[in-house]
Chains A and B, each alone.
Chain A
Amino acid sequence: MDQQTKDLINNEITNNEVCLFMKGTPDAPQCGFSMAVSNMLKILEVNYKGINVLENQSLREGIKEFSDWPTIPQVYIKGEFVGGCDIVKEMYENGELKKVLEDKGVNFKK
């Protein structure tokens, strides 16, 4: 991964409480898994930044290396990798996602 991509990722996850690296945008997701995670964050009224990896090939590959995670979407909360679609969905269903948001001081609909 080049330094520019690394800096870009670091900037995004530092400057945004919740980041969703996804295919497409929150308003127009281009993959069902990205849409699912995006919708869960919307339902919880989390103020998150969606980052479209399809617009940047080095980011698309770089984020996988950065997180040591082979798939997209990927969710970061306060700079920490939380998981992909399966894990976030499980956390959404069992209430853990709310707990993590609360513990990290992120605003959401309680």
Chain B
Amino acid sequence: MAMDLKEIEALIKEALPDAVIEIQDLAGDNNHFSATVTSSSFSGKSKIEQHKMVYNSLKGKMGNELHALAIKTKEL
């Protein structure tokens, strides 16, 4: 199973509308990605909470369709 880069971006954008998202397909296999997400929604939240917000935006795909997504979050 794999996911398209655009699909990941759209899901994050839906949950965090102001987010600036940079996604890279690390291995070119639609299965190992890294995402840097910058959003004002992260302010005042712990790293764990910030990453959970990104995971939640992916609606359960993380760890299933999506095998590997390295996440970096930044506050806007």
A: residues with CB less than 8 A from B are: 33, 64, 68-71, 81-87, 90-91
Contacts and interface: CB of A to CB of B under 8 A. Distances in A.
A71 B72 contact: no
Given A70-B63, A71-B63, A86 B48 contact: no
Interface of B is mostly: mixed
A68 B71 CA distance: 16
A64 B63 contact: yes
A85 B55 CA distance: 14
A81 B48 contact: yes
A54 B8 CA distance: 27
Given A69-B55, A70-B62, A82-B48, 13 more contacts: A33-B68, A64-B63, A68-B52, A69-B52, A70-B63, A71-B55, A71-B62, A71-B63, A81-B48, A86-B51, A87-B47, A87-B48, A90-B47
